[in-house]
A and B are shown apart, each in its own frame.
Chain A
Amino acid sequence: MRKIHTIIICLLAWGLSTQAQENKNIATLMAQLPAQDFHQLDVTMAKVATWGEEDLIALAHLLKPMNTGENAVVEYALSGLSAYVGVPGRDDLRKRVALAYAKSLQKSTDKDAQSFILSQLQGIAQDDVVAYVAPFLSDNQLADPASRVLVAVGGDLAKKILREALSDAKQHNLIFIVQALGYLKDNKAVKAIMPYVNNKNENVRKATYFALAAIADPQSKDVLTKIADESNYRFDTSHAFGAYLNYIKNLSKKDQKLAEQLASDLMRKTDSHEMQARIAALTLVVDLQGEKSLPLLETAFNGPNKTYRIAALRLATSYMNAHHVDFWVKLLKNSQSELQIEMLKVMATTDMPAALPAIKELMNSSDIDVKEAAIRAAGRLGGEALLSDFLAILKKGEAKEIAAVKHALLTMRSKKVNMALQEALPTLPWASKATVLSVLKSVEEKESAQVYAVKEFDAEAEKKDGFHVLFDGTDMDQWQGNTRDYTIEYGEMVINPSKGSGGNLYTKEEFSDFTFRFEFKLSPGANNGLGIRTPLTGNAAYEGIEIQIIDNDAEKYKYLKPYQYHGSLYGIMAAKKGFLNPVGMWNYQEVQVKGDHIKVILNGNVILDGSIADAKANGTLDSKEHPGLFRTSGHIAFLGHGDQVYFRNMRVKRL
């Protein structure tokens, strides 16, 4: 709504002043934006994309200085158009629109507007407009968006323009141009960028390192090695070390041998440095050498600290597969317990059944943590085949082993496993018995409730039985009161929430003893109520009787009292909880009222069945006055207007 509002204001604002009014195309377009859906957007923009260049430029020129706060609709138009022509197969349109945008840049003097147009060109520009973008590379505010357009375009022409811009770059635009040349990996720019490695400005150095690393020309080797050495292989704000690692990685695509050489040198040089530097160097070597690096990793597994050892193991696990099973089995046997545990965790998730015998051996390890990891891994890899081994452990009945077996059994459960456990149960020592029982029962499971089907009812049969239709989806003729908020939609009675109190909805007739059947559907957190024997005025929960209709599982109702649950006589008598269908699904409910006796049946389950005689004599659960208890007749009513609830198929039989 607000957006439509904005459009009207904008249209008024143009009113007398601009060319927009003279341009019929533009005026029509503006009235259609923002589009209500993507289809309409496509239809609208398909037309705009065929406009002549003059109209397109005129559209771009509607951007006003930002402090006018009037650009929204024009921005919708321009961004909608550029996204539309960016779809494959619309290249001719894209060309025309991009060119028009580019030309509009020349005529505009407002930098925010130019910046906006450049951001649009970033999505759709190709070689044909880069020449128009070039002049903005020297602008203080626009060098950044202009350079990003060139990066998006890529290719030789964009690179050439950036190199030219670099040759007379100033302090304010230098970083944008250097970084852009890096993004484009322009190796022709290396010589021109190189001198900036020693620039006094840290940001310039950072952009320079980034660019040289991305381009990865062999001739930057010495320079980048030097700055990495000087950084002590530590993080610093110029990213010297990070850039060097990227350089070697990228260099490998051009000169694998040189890259491997530099990586090995780096491993040696970082040997006594911080852990992250050592791990980074190791990762680099491993990535460059592939599975050839396994022996190197084997050495790394004995590295000086856990962070390093585990990182090495994690690198090696890319090669944990059937092809290298001998390597891993040997390693598993010969490693320290710390590494064995980590290895077992990974092995549990891989498909390497040939490792199973070695893993089973470790189930006898004297280190309980290794033993536990081995039991778990064996369970995952071997499945039911391990059952007899696990039963043997359970028969020994040692607490720590039982705990490990429990987890393995949980991840192995099947009909066969369950049966075997059941069978073994009598033979097990007490401690194992409890574990096996908990596995069989699986304590983590929640009671799952049923979903109840709402069956179609036989209207003819019910009619013969004496039922009378109160609502069948066609009209509200038998109802009075709040027919503003309670309306008919697609044959259902729906209450659409409103802020003002529209009050309750009542039957026109009064009912004394009766059976009322209806279906209802709740929205999340909805609260309504079914009034019986209510007068047309006053609070029906007290002046009549209210049978709760409520999504009592909603988070916000977690502190409800039982006499407020769905189906309860509000404040008087509590219903059984747990028979509502999930919100959004239909429920079927029958309410029987005869004298003091009230019965509520929800989805085929009796959730309330009792007499109000006791409450009349001795007071109610909520200790409040309920004069409605003493009424013998009144209207059937729906009590609520704040939440969305749907009703259908209402019928009643007088008793």
Chain B
Amino acid sequence: MKKIRESRRDFIKKSALAATAFSIVPRFVLGGKGFLAPSDHLTKGIIGVGGMGRNHIPYEGTKVVAICDVDTRHINIALEKLGGGEGVKTFGDYRDLIQLPEVDIVHIATPPHWHGIMAVDAARAGKDIWCEKPMTHTIGEGKKVMEAVRQYGNIFRLNTWFRFQSNFYGMGTPVQPIKKLVASGLLGWPLTVTVGKHTGFDWKFYWVGKENLKPEPVPDELDYDFWLGPAPYKPYNTHRVHSTFRGYWDYDGGGLADMGQHYLDPVQYFLGKDNESPVKVEIDAPQQHPDAVGTWRKIVYTYADGCKIVLDGEGKINNVPYIQGPKGKLYPGFRSDIPDLNAKLSEFPEPPEQVVNFSDAVRNRSKFALNEENGHRSCTLINMALVGLRLGRSVLHFDSEKQLFLNDETANRYIDPPMRAPWSL
């Protein structure tokens, strides 16, 4: 461990040296009304420049001024993608990046076990935040992110977007008309939403971990201890890190955690559940290994008012609509058994407009459409199911307000578990 620490310091020293020669891009000054950087661009620093983080480089409206990774190989590939990266500072420690005065927005594209800590630290450093999904690894971390963003006055967005743009997977339409239909009451209440292969959503079960991982030597380019961060120490194995980390409970939660917020955040939105969580989760799955994430067959969430979300892991739930209500059904492609649906819908209000441009949100200090609050609630769907999966609970009851499981202390120990020092929230 000691050796790793030293190599990290060397790395930072080298990065810092490399950085000194570059000019500082004036950041968007918080002061002057409507003041923009000369380039008319906000600036961003990206933490985690593996495959996902490198996708953030060309995101519109912002200019990369700094990148950070605990793997020097990632840094080098990212620099290449940045055309050599002149003027881009590189770091091994995200805490150096978030303190740069010239960074406006911090992008967090690390594995999820880091999201909570990094988001809170970025908030403390006064940065606005663009965070990868799933928002946090535990329910407790999500609450801390909400508190921090409120306390330090930051603007936060999550990196999924279906509640406000793009066609929504198998639905073949955006979410807005679905929201409108649901709000109209034409389908009745409560509703059951089925999310699986037959309604156009694939749960990506290739994100499974391997059992019996044997210890391997840590590659020179990787600061493994920093990569683990708040997670328990486990000996290094190639499969734990980088493109396969989703298969391990300590860092993520398989296909459910990967796709869950893409698929379920819009459901919470159109069901009007942005400020609440289900009161029950039921799970059908094989027993899970304590380290390696496996697959599952079916997960059913129930809300206090009787609305349900059914996740079909096997693609076996056939012949069901996407949304089933007592008065009508909605199928993929915005098809319905309600005759003359469009004519009927024309007599109902459109959903309120959302703030969908993050640069504008940052400049105007507006809350983004998908922010730390509704993002935390949709992430809670994932994190509550992951606890049930890991513990083999076929049913868990949840207090939506206190955000704790009812009458299950072992499950509650997974809500906000202690972190490996010195990391804490």
Contacts and interface: CB of A to CB of B under 8 A. Distances in A.
Contacts of A446: 173, 177, 334
Nearest to B93: A237
Given A34-B286, A275-B153, A115 B347 contact: no
B151 to A, nearest CB: 5
B392 interface: yes
A6 interface: yes
Contacts of A38: 283-285, 287, 392-394
B418 A524 contact: no
Nearest to A407: B353
Contacts of A275: 30, 126, 153
15 contacts: A67-B214, A75-B211, A75-B291, A76-B289, A83-B393, A141-B233, A234-B99, A242-B120, A279-B151, A306-B30, A314-B367, A315-B150, A445-B345, A451-B335, A521-B318
Nearest to B339: A450
A582 B333 contact: yes
A565 interface: no
A308 B153 CA distance: 8
A516 interface: no
Nearest to B95: A237
B319 A67 contact: no
Given A122-B413, A275-B30, A414-B349, A37 B418 contact: no
A179 B422 contact: yes
Interface of A: 3, 6, 33-42, 66-72, 75-76, 78-80, 82-84, 86-88, 112, 115-116, 119-120, 122-124, 141, 144-145, 147-148, 151-152, 175-176, 178-180, 182-183, 203-204, 206-207, 210, 234-237, 239, 241-242, 245, 274-277, 279-280, 283-284, 304-308, 310-311, 314-315, 338, 342, 345, 348-349, 380, 407, 410-415, 418, 440-442, 444-451, 521, 523-524, 553, 581-586
B27 to A, nearest CB: 12
B337 A207 contact: no
Given A413-B348, A445-B177, A67 B154 contact: no
Contacts of A447: 342
Contacts of A33: 287
Contacts of A586: 319
B148 to A, nearest CB: 8
Given A35-B287, A175-B422, A305-B31, A72 B212 contact: yes
B229 interface: no
B interface, size bucket: 35 or more
B289 A553 contact: no
A487 B66 CA distance: 59
Contacts of B339: 450
B170 interface: yes
Contact of B319 (A39, A148, A283, A585): A585
B53 to A, nearest CB: 22
A443 to B, nearest CB: 11
The secondary structure that dominates the A interface is helix
B424 interface: yes
A182 B423 CA distance: 12
Contacts of B352: 348-349, 380, 411
A123 B410 contact: yes
B3 interface: no
A203 B5 CA distance: 13
A279 B30 CA distance: 13
Contacts of B219: none
A413 B394 contact: no
B286 to A, nearest CB: 5
Given A80-B287, A451-B335, A521-B318, A124 B410 contact: yes
Listed residue (B150, B332, B365, B407) with the most chain A CB atoms within 10 angstroms of its CB: B365
A34 B391 CA distance: 13
Contact of B424 (A207, A407, A440): A207
A450 B365 contact: no
A319 to B, nearest CB: 15
